[in-house]
Amino acid sequence: MKRRTFIKTTSVSSLACAIPPVFSNFNDPDYSTDELIGKAVIDLFGEGINLRKEAYESFVAMKKAAYSDGFDIKMVSSYRDFYHQASIWERKFLRFTEDEGMEPLPAIDKIIEYSTIPGTSRHHWGTDIDIIDGNPKVSGDVLVPEKFEKGGPFENFKLWLDENSEKFGFYLVYTNEPKRRGFKYEPWHYSYAPLSIPMLTAYRRLNVLRLLQKEDFLGSEHFTTGFVKTYVQDNILDINPALL
């Protein structure tokens, strides 16, 4: 019997007395394919936060701790569904191919420096966040690495995150480890490891190639088997090893 069905059909009080360890395994449910690729409707918590419950609670605790150290954590992006990611993807695809006259394949390579293929974003999971410090005055794009580096407006915020985020379960995903492939360094993107590790484990069991072949967004007809294989290896799996 699946654990989820089991919990639904068993009274809480009998569970609590008989087999309490069920609750400590709650982080490892069966995730559906739709849930993993951003097509399921999931419960999200917190106005302007939009994370799974446990990630939301930990985020709020981290935000409070940061606040008392002088940083005002601002959520730039959290949960994003498949269709939202598809609109980001298509907008970039059109900009590169039509406005800038690039061929489809180089355009796709350029998109995947920072943006994911719809259905493959960690933002689909309700566990990942893009954050900045709301205190300093900043002009232009906020999600650029230089702003988090020496002399940038988020320099001290990044140092605080280096020191503290993991205490709250939030780990940097796309590190500046020089040998890492896939997405470029994103000092703003953190993942709530207690949920996203089991989700990635479940994701790895999916046939991403077959799932993407069923989709029909601009540029998707150019995805070859080799391209998708490399993408999974580099962009999905070549991340902070603490999140594998």
Residue ranges that bind Zn ion, judged by CB under 5 A: 130, 189
Question: Nearer to Zn ion by C-beta: 97 or 115?
Answer: 115
Q: How far is the CB of 68 from Zn ion (least distance, A)?
A: 26
Closest separation in Å from C-beta 1 to Zn ion: 37
CB of 128 to Zn ion, least distance (A): 6
Please, which residue, 105 or 242, has the CB nearer to Zn ion? 242
Nearer to Zn ion (CB atom), residue 65 or residue 75: 75
Nearer to Zn ion, 187 or 219 (CB): 187
CB of 34 to Zn ion, least distance (A): 21
Count Cβ atoms within 10 A of the Cβ of residue 165 and give its class: 0-12 exposed, 13-18 middle, 19 or more buried. buried
The Cα–Cα gap between 139 and 136 comes to: 10
Residues paired with 129 in a beta bridge: 190
Please state the closest distance from residue 112 (CB atom) to Zn ion, in A. Answer: 13
Q: Which residue is nearest to Zn ion (CB)?
A: 189
Q: Which amino acid is at 138?
A: V
Closest separation between CB of residue 98 and Zn ion, Å?
Answer: 26
For residue 244, count other CB atoms closer than 10 A to its CB.
Answer: 11
Neighbour count for residue 158 (Cβ, 10 Å): 21
Distance, first Cα to last Cα, the chain: 28
Q: State which residue, 81 or 130, has the beta carbon closest to Zn ion.
A: 130
- With respect to Zn ion, which residue has the nearer C-beta, 130 or 133? 130
Q: Residue 79: beta bridge partners?
A: none
CA–CA separation, 78 vs 190, rounded Å?
10
H or E element in which residue 59 lies:
helix 53-68
**Where are any strands of DSSP class E within 115-196?**
128-133, 170-172, 189-192
Residue 234 has which token pair? 């580099």
